[in-house]
Chains A and B, each alone.
Chain A
């Protein structure tokens, strides 16, 4: 009974915040609504008992995306808003609204007519988990059963970084993103940014490590490590590194390359592309995941920092 109140309340709140995000007059309220919306989504994921997803949403939706979007809204505030944009006529607006209502109804019909009992791959995932040496079926899906998806996802992240960097002006290529200097070591923010990372790094590594058996994993742990690097840069305790740095490039590419390398090793050694040998699966998986975690921790802050805006140092 109370659980239902909670679920209905969560649904109403999440819809309200989504409505504000989409329809608010000004950009900043919309962005703040979206940040609060991300927090609510992770509550809903907990209610669906998808704790791995809730952890991902908490790290990405609330933290990293919030920083990205708030920064963007401030940078774009200075740009003249598109005043020339022609207003949509009311009939057109209604037509669009009708279309969207129809799309919603179609999806709702699908939800209400889902087969019962639902088809599920959970038994297979649970049955075969012993072969991977893992205890968390979600991690097993990500890193073993559907390793190809995860490998490509890491490639997408690297491509996104390349895409962001490619927006740099020619004179800044190889330089650092973000404003230079202004290192202030005092103040509340600097104190916070010195206190938080030790604890955050510990928690990030823990979430990565327990991901083998409990909710957590390479992405969630890496995202928390990434956030710690971001707070250090936001407090100006350290500047963003130049994109030409060799260690930077290696850190970004290490995850997909090691993953692919282990995959090809499997192909050569005869246990199959992106597969793991029986009995030695878990150590190999952990080995791959360590590099993936590092890559994610390097990638996310670079995506948020944007293209370089400083000339490279000679």
Chain B
């Protein structure tokens, strides 16, 4: 790439089912926090990138336009990018190309989601993500989609439900140290997950991350000016993104090949030749517990079908060999679609900078990978951050 991109600061708001603040105000609270950590003012920001997922949640058409003043975008070049659930990592990728191309020196990335506006339940808006001709007449519920993918994954690899439930337990316990967390629970057990209400088998209530309101933000700058702000910068090592066919019923769902392709693109850019060795910790997207396993495999961090075993053996614990979702992930902290940048990218930064407080992973992590996944099980976005 042309110019190295450094992360200067990050911020995020509380994640809850419904927050009092408007989308603009949430964006402001997250952006301001990131700017304070980075030590910059609004007039130092050259450009702003907004990442926010479906308009149908906030209930505002062209909601990027509506949110822009809260993201410090007033009277600035401002653009919104979007690819469903993948936005949480895609917006920071877009921010990366603003700086890496040399067009901007300092770029603010804000992600916001307000799922609570959709009344009575965001499920109403999720209904409109399906194909209108083939799927919507069957009145599908979003959970079905993931239940079907989970079932395929479990059946092909012959994985036990309890091995997957362990992931939910790990993440909800990890989230205990996170001030924004919605569903942290220090005492949760595998039995709690297995005995929770069956929504759409094999998906049970505690396998799912909750819909939330929230926002997150990060500040980037180019290597040329980084000396002005910090002596110990964290850099973006590589980025990758990839999309599969709209026709989700035309492919085998047991392995996310698009995640693997995005990961390869990212690793190539970051000079990661041996992912299992070179990567110190990861934040794969975990809206459902099986998704963490699915994506760990997609990120080439283990062999196909082996990810649940890693958790069983304690490898993915915060003090394990390969900590996964040390933030608590979506399962523990909450799932405000795009604003999950807070767990998937901000967390990488805080961990690498040694600022994660109670959630800090031991040792001396140098490379972390974050990933998000979106659209109708077809989009993968991957980012790698490194220290020094």
Do they bind each other?
Answer: no
